[in-house]
Chain A
Amino acid sequence: MSSHAETIPPAPEERERLTRIQIDRSCRQTVVWYYASAVFWLLVGTVLALIASIKMHTPGFLADWEWLTFGRVRPAHLAAMIYGWGSMAGVGTLLWLQARLTRNRLPLPTLLPATAVIWNLTVTFGVIAILAGYSTSIEWIEIPPATAILFGFCIAVIIAASIRMFRSRESEHTYVSQWYLFGAIFWFPLLYVSAQIFLHTPAAAGAVKAAANWWFAHNVLGLWFTPIGLATVYYLIPKVIGRPVHSYHLSLLGFWTLAIFYNWAGTHHLIGGPLPAWLITVGIVGSVMMFVPVITVAVNHHMTMVGNFHHLKHSPTLRFVVYGAMCYTAVSFQGSLQSLRSVNEITHFTHYTIAHAHLGVYAFFTMVMFGAIYYVAPRLLNAEWHSAGWIRVHFWTTAAGMAIYWLGLTWAGWEQGRMMNDPRIPFLDIVKYTVPWLWSRSAAGVLMTVGHLAFAWLFWNMLRKRGAYLPGPTLLLRKGEPAAVAAGGGE
């Protein structure tokens, strides 16, 4: 096994072109550690989700344990999913994509895997801290700041690795996914550090902290998760179906309009709230302008897929990624509409918003990450997924579960909001109305849990290499090529 020398990589013309197998092999340890961690946090977050969901319609459930009270379980669920599952699946995918796009080995072979360990520790401390009562009580950023500092170290290493790969990249062309990924890795630390400063120092005062809170929270969705998700979609759809992206011009437009408009949408979380009217209006304008990048991306992806939808039958990755990409369009349209005052008057403060949030973080981002892991893991581990049946179970339970979740809570939230705006309806009557719909959310949650367990089982077997070791396009071999070539991998 060759050593990974920590010298400046040779200029593109001088070195030999790495094979894809060599690139993938170099990613194995880091990306597999990130993916395995992500799957672990997916399961933890799912348990916390079920507990929280049951508590909402059956409040006596586990009620005597203070550390599991709803007000702690709910943010613990959010932290485990956002910083555990979502971010770690995202980082793993981000690193692999950049290695592929720059045609470089993944650098920093000691530091990068170490960041996976540190990230895990940080999320663990964070979740425990929240359950123990040390949450900051600021949504999306409940992990106490002293713990969260560790994220900074990890991101710094990830940025260093990304820059190194980019600077010694082979291609003259910078693929669209690379812009989105660069955006994500620079935006996230800027957001996180700024938020910590505004929220925990006098840099912002009183009500303005709420503006800072939602500038942060909304931008984590739009400038961390969305770019990683879109970068993945832009790479995997063309790669799986073997056709290039429909319009590269549109890609450029989509990226920069996202960068500009998404940033300004955050205050739509505070419509009707105690902040200056101009601030709220700016947020609404930014939110509505999001139609531009979203339609751009939707047209691009759709036109790339046109004539190729039959591949959905045969490719697990494509199913998850296309489901995710379509939900990106849906959730963004919904978001733009929700920011209009007339709609917001009804939907604000209701279960409608929760349905919307899950349409984004789950139906878009999580499903795209599932697709990415299905594509990447076999290429890193030189093994096949051990069961097509379990993959189908995973897809259908999560796809259907998410649909039931969204339908139930969207209806419940809309009615809840309508009734709340009618002062003749007693508040407890509204609560009573929502309870059956909260049960439907738990039912959807059980379906999704089955899917997650199936996925974890598949991933466990992938790690144990229980899948058939078959030559075929999944393993980057031509028919008839000896398997030994892949096993050697150029190392």
Chain B
Amino acid sequence: MNRAWLLALGVFATIVASVTGLVLLPDRQLRGTQPVQDEERGIAVPAGYFGDAEEGRKVYMDLGCIYCHTQQVRPEGFGADIERGWGMRRSVARDYIHDEPPLMGTMRTGPDLMNIGARQPSEQWHYLHLYDPRITSPGSIMPPHRFLFEVRHSADGLPEDAVRLPDEFAEKKPAWIVPNDRARRLVAYLKSLDHNYEVPEAR
């Protein structure tokens, strides 16, 4: 094994082979996947992200939500994702055509969020949960995101989306939490996560 060029060639060939097989060929297979028509809602799905939801996706990324939450529902019979109510069907590649990059995640310190918009449509719930997860979920180890909110103690001039903090979680009572722009956008993004439409490949 004395020839540098033979070694270099072999090294190069092994990686070209794997990138072809694991990235280029699947890309060839999946590229051009289109949204499908959702008969119930009368729109093409997946619909993509717009406005606040699009900005909220960036907040999700910058706060590192992927390190505790997944966005991929496993097939029936492999794990219990569907029985847990995390989705009506398994996730398919088509669900991610607008996701640049896909935020599939690798840890479930917290639950899967692929369909959190369908499962938990309440803005108030999300704001309370983000402010201090233990308000809505006792025993949760999710970090509080109080820095996404302003706390006010008077009902005067409160914006519409302010949420009353339960007394036991307020240092000074009464207290309301007012979401800042990042919180609003993040919650808009979470509410947009709903992939419970039917697709031909997962009937």
Contacts and interface: CB of A to CB of B under 8 A. Distances in A.
A256 B17 CA distance: 14
Interface of B: 1-2, 4, 7-8, 10-12, 14-15, 17-19, 21-23, 26-27, 29-31, 33, 60-68, 70, 72, 74-75, 78-80, 83-84, 90-93, 95-109, 111, 133, 137-147
15 contacts: A56-B141, A71-B143, A133-B62, A136-B61, A167-B4, A208-B27, A212-B23, A223-B15, A267-B22, A272-B74, A273-B104, A276-B26, A350-B108, A431-B141, A432-B139
A275 B75 CA distance: 12
B100 A209 contact: yes
Contacts of B84: 420, 423, 427
B7 A353 contact: no
A267 B90 CA distance: 18
A119 to B, nearest CB: 22
Interface of B is mostly: loop
B139 A56 contact: no
A325 B200 CA distance: 49
Given A63-B143, A70-B64, A208-B23, 4 more contacts: A137-B62, A190-B12, A190-B15, A210-B96
B15 A263 contact: yes
A259 interface: yes
Contact of A215 (B18, B29, B68): B18
Given A187-B15, A353-B107, A206 B143 contact: no
A206 B22 contact: no
B138 A345 contact: no
A182 B97 contact: no
Interface in A417-442: 420-423, 427-428, 431-432, 435, 438
Interface of A: 55-57, 59-60, 63-66, 69-72, 74-75, 133-139, 163, 166-167, 172-174, 179, 182-183, 186-187, 190-191, 194, 198-199, 203-213, 215, 219, 223, 252, 256, 259-260, 263-264, 266-267, 269-270, 272-276, 279, 282-283, 341, 345, 348-350, 353-354, 420-423, 427-428, 431-432, 435, 438
A166 B141 contact: no
Contacts of A75: 64, 67
A104 B34 CA distance: 58
Interface centre among A269, A348, A350 (most CB of B within 10 A): A348
Contacts of A139: 66, 106
Contact of B147 (A66, A274, A279, A350): A66
B79 A69 contact: no
Contact of B63 (A133, A211, A263, A274): A133
Contact of B91 (A223, A256, A274): A274
Q: Which 7 A-B pairs have the closest CB atoms?
A: A71-B64, A263-B18, A137-B61, A423-B83, A133-B62, A349-B108, A207-B93
A174 B3 CA distance: 9
B26 A256 contact: no
Contact of A208 (B12, B26, B92, B103): B26
Given A139-B66, A275-B26, A428 B2 contact: no
A353 B63 contact: no
A189 to B, nearest CB: 10
Given A210-B104, A273-B72, A432-B139, A345 B26 contact: no
A409 B139 CA distance: 19
B14 A210 contact: no
A270 B191 CA distance: 25
A241 B99 CA distance: 54
